[in-house]
Structure 1
Amino acid sequence: MQSAAKTVNEYLNEFPKERKSALLKLRECILNSIPKGFEEQMSYGMIGYVVPHSIYPKGYHCNPTLPLPFINIASQKNFIALYHMGIYVIPELLQWFTTEYPKHSNQKLDMGKSCIRFKKLDQIPFDLIAELSKKITVENWIHAYEAHLKKRLY
Structure 2
Amino acid sequence: MQSTAPTIAAYLASLPDHAHAVLEPIDALIRRMLPSATGSMKYGMPTFELGKDRYLAYNAQKNYFSLYVDPTVVARHKSLLKGLDVGKSCIRFRRADQLPLETVEVLLADLR
State TM-score, norm by structure 2. Answer: 0.86
Q: Which entry has the higher C-alpha Rg, 1 or 2?
A: 1
**Structure 1: stretches of 5+ with no match in the other structure:** 57-67, 103-107, 138-154
Question: Which has more strand, going by share of residues?
Answer: 2
1:95 and 1:8 map into 2 onto residues whose CA distance is 27
In structure 1, distance between residues paired with 2:111 and 2:98: 24
Q: 2: distance between equivalents of 1:15 and 1:75?
A: 8
**Superposition RMSD on alpha carbons, in Å?**
1.9
8 Å contact 1:19–1:121 — kept in the other structure? Answer: no
- Percent of matched pairs sharing the same residue: 29
Give the 5 Å matches for 1:74-89: 74-84=59-69, 86=70, 88=71
Q: Are residue 18 (structure 1) and residue 18 (structure 2) matched?
A: yes
**Match runs of 1:1-154 below 5 Å:** 1-34=1-34, 36-51=35-50, 56=52, 70-84=55-69, 86=70, 88=71, 90=72, 93-102=73-82, 108-137=83-112
Tell me the TM-score normalised to structure 1 length.
0.65
**What 5-or-longer segments of structure 2 have no aligned partner?**
none
1:136 CA drift (Å): 2.3
Paired residues in the alignment total 112
Partners of 1:112 and 1:81 lie apart in 2 by 10
